[in-house]
Amino acid sequence: MSAMANSFPQAPATWRLPDRGKVAMASLIIAESAIFTIFVVAYLFYVGKSLTGPTPRELLETPIFYTICLLSSSLTIHFAAKSLTRDRVGAFLGLWVLTIVLGATFMYGTAQEWHRLIYEHGFTISTNLFGTTYYSLVGLHAFHVTAGLLMLLIVAIFGLLGRVGVQHSHRVEVLSMYWHFVDAVWVIVFTVVYVLGR
Amino acid sequence: MSSNAFTIPGVQIDEKSWVDTLHEWVTTVDHKRLGVLYILYALLFLVVAGVEALIIRIQLMFPHSHFVSPQVFNRLFTMHGTTMVFFMGMPILFGFANYLVPLMIGARDMAFPRLNAFSFWLSALGGFLLYFSLVGANGLYGAGNAPDVGWWAYAPLTARAFSPGHSTDYWTLALLVSGFGSIGTAINIIATILCMRCPGMKLSRMPLLAWLNLVMAGMVLLAVSPLTAAQMMLLIDRYLGGHFFDTQAGGSAMLWMHFFWIFGHPEVYVLIIPCFAFMSEIIPVFSRKPIFGYPVMVAATVCIGFVSMSVWAHHMFSVGMNSYANSFFTITTMAVGVPTGIKIFNWLGTMWGGRIQFKVPMLFCIAFLFQFLIAGLTGVMLGSAAFASQLTLSYFVVAHFHYTLVGGVVFGVFAAIYYWYPKITGRMLNETLGKVHFWLFLIGFHLTFDLMHIPGLLGMPRRIYTYEPDRGWDILNLLISVGGFIQAIAVVIFVANLIVSYFKGKKAGNDPWDAWTLEWATSSPPPAYNFASIPLVASRRPLWDLKHPEDPDSRYE
């Protein structure tokens, strides 16, 4: 094998390939986007097609505050990851925990909305087409937020135990890519459900 | 198998107990072992689904046959299709990708070895779930039933009302679980190819197998996800009272068709593109010429990847879409044949002027070229909405897709097995038995699937468990079934060859075929670490450069 090096022209001066974590997360995001696209298509296809039951206009209240929470959490996680690359672990930890709090607030908002819909209006996934597509789409998104929060929490725990340093910054960046994805999906879900769908 | 790279004379090596060996295999994260596990798993299901096909053919041999009941017949063709696509086709191609891609790009393993193992075991679980339905699922007709809704499981047949019990759920869960495994492997392949190439291996110097598996993995991400989404929707309908496909609540059964075929069509390209990769590696070696038109091959494959995402509704020409939709999908279906045709010309161009060696892998490749061409032509015929509306749901369609899947994928896989078996096991497969396998399988394949076009043209519908004797289909069905048995005998010979050669085959050495890609630079079987030192490449054929230092390819690229 070492003979190989001799019979060739010079080795490339630099040989830098993309970071595997980022490529893998980008691939996962592509796959997840395809799944969400199908649910969004189903939602849009069935807008206005329910045969019975409550309409979006009657039931939905635009969750502006909780949306702002989730979108700000993208900002905080961005700065958290930035801080870690600059070895400012204190700032990283603070911003990271703030991200989790904002994300959890968003989840609380969704839970509150669903509680109102189910218990005050008797509106469930089996009520009509709007119910099926609404709960599936928003539910799938909420599931992804929950998974993200769990991962963020694990990192936060390690961070609070003092085990996270600048050498982990690329992994934290990979996680923040996922969180940005979850946010972007919410922008689309919000537009489709609360703006277009009504 | 690959744990002892060097035998040091005079050193006592303790025999491992079989429990330890089993444990090693079950907990492995080595891409080579996982590749072998995938391939063995798929070969097992090839035999199982093949037996299902034989039972179907026995039933159809004579009109008004009572070999199996109509209910069992429905389960048979459902299981045959589902098994062949998801638990034979996908695993065997992922297995080859897993085994070969790291070796060919000069890496020591895949990017994420544990994800690799996880994905394999998820896929394995999926296969187990599907077959567990035989004992675990109450179906429409009683206890212990496999799904009987067709491998495409159209709504509303799959609704709770029409498929009570759990057989459909086993189908759904099996595909959901193995779908996650497929997505995991696809992510792994993409990350490996983009991030782990050895120094000097620019993307333009990668073997075509790596390029084509990259395109395949990208397509898996975009194609399997819609199926996952559709399965979730089906489960919501069946268990949470959802109405996605519930026409009585305003839902649409056609939505399932769209979602399924948005998966289903790119899926068949996912199945064939790795076989194109095998052709692109094997044909040059046995023509003693580099592949003709490497950049065009890459471009054509990427084109196929994109265009194939836009053709799905050609599976739905008879459901009543409007004429604009029918025309659009006809045009895109015609378009997708063009890049494939380009690739066939390039393979022929590779052979032209070469010094062809008719070894067994090459025989399967040549058969592939003829057969895939014919399959493509019947595909173009079916791609025209007007023609398809006459022949949809007939045996013409069955003949077409078996021509691509058996004549294309299975022949491609056989070629790959004969070509890379020496690398994987260190022993050559028996050439004589290989030739017997090839000719028997070829004759059986053509007897079955050439003839099958005719009953289709004469009007024989699909999915029927028997037929009237006065339609002119009798003798054809009989011969088609005979062909099936000939193929079965060929496969038995093949399996015997695989087993006997493992113990008694001629030792292969590093490079039995005098090939040019990096996997032949290491021992057969490769050591666990693949390469003693990471290679450094300067051209598309690193081993040619090594063997011919006076005339390296690097001078011309």
The complex's ipTM works out to 0.93
- pLDDT of A141 above 60: yes
Q: Using DSSP, state whether B8 is helix, strand or coil.
A: coil
| CATH tag, B26-504 | 1.20.210.10
Residue A50 at interface with chain B, using a CB cutoff of 8 Å: yes
Q: In chain A, pLDDT over 70 holds for what percent of residues?
A: 94
Are the beta carbons of A27 and B187 separated by less than 8 Å?
A: yes
From CA B287, how far away is CA B278, in angstroms rounded?
14
- Residue A115 domain-assigned (yes or no): yes
Positions of E strands within B90-195: none
Residue B229 at interface with chain A, using a CB cutoff of 8 Å: yes
Domain boundaries, chain B: 26-504
Q: What is the pLDDT of residue B355?
A: 96
- Residue A150 domain-assigned (yes or no): yes
From CA B475, how far away is CA B545, in angstroms rounded?
57
pTM for the whole structure: 0.94
What torsion do the CA atoms of A36, A38, A39, A43 make, to the nearest 10 degrees? 130
Mean predicted confidence (pLDDT) in A19-23: 95
Are the beta carbons of B243 and A8 separated by less than 8 Å?
A: no
What is the residue-level pLDDT of chain B in tens, covering all 557 positions?
444 455 566 666 667 789 999 999 999 999 999 999 999 999 999 999 999 999 999 999 999 999 999 999 999 999 999 999 999 999 999 999 999 999 999 999 999 999 999 999 999 999 999 999 988 766 556 555 899 999 999 999 999 888 888 889 999 999 999 999 999 999 999 999 999 999 999 999 999 999 999 999 999 999 999 999 999 999 999 999 999 999 999 999 999 999 999 999 999 999 999 999 999 999 999 999 999 999 999 999 999 999 999 999 999 999 989 999 999 999 999 999 999 999 999 999 999 999 999 999 999 999 999 999 999 999 999 999 989 989 999 999 999 999 999 999 999 999 999 999 999 999 999 999 999 999 999 999 999 999 999 999 999 999 999 999 989 999 999 999 999 999 999 999 999 999 999 999 999 999 999 999 999 999 989 999 999 999 999 999 999 999 998 988 888 87
- Give the range of the structural domain holding residue A66, as residue numbers without chain letter: 19-196
Q: Which A residues in the span 64-103 are in contact with B, Cβ-Cβ below 8 Å?
A: none
- Residue A140 domain-assigned (yes or no): yes
- Residue A125 domain-assigned (yes or no): yes
Closest CA to B536 of B109, B200, B203: B200
Burial annotation B179-210 (CB, 10 A radius, 16+ → b, else e): bbbbbbbbbbbbbbbbbbbbbbbeeebbbbbb
Indicate the number of domains in chain A: 1
- Residue A5 domain-assigned (yes or no): no
Q: What is the pLDDT of residue A15?
A: 86
Burial tier of A91 (Cβ tally within 10 Å: 0-12, 13-18, 19+): middle
Extract the tokens encoding B22.
């089993």
- Residue A175 domain-assigned (yes or no): yes
Are the beta carbons of B194 and A18 separated by less than 8 Å?
A: yes
Amino acid at B214: L
CATH number at residue A88: 1.20.120.80
Of the residues A35, A123, A128, the best mutation for testing chain B's interface (the one with the most B CB atoms within 10 Å of its CB) is: A35
Extract the tokens encoding B339.
């890049």
Residue B546 · residue A12 · CB < 8 Å: no
Q: What is the pLDDT of residue B507?
A: 94
Q: Using DSSP, state whether B427 is helix, strand or coil.
A: strand
Q: What Rg do the C-alpha atoms of chain B give, in angstroms?
A: 24
- Residue A185 domain-assigned (yes or no): yes
Are the beta carbons of B236 and A124 separated by less than 8 Å?
A: no
Residue from the list A17, A30, A51 with its beta carbon closest to the beta carbon of B249: A51
User: What are the chain B neighbours of A24 within 8 Å (beta carbons)?
Assistant: 111-112, 187-188, 190-191
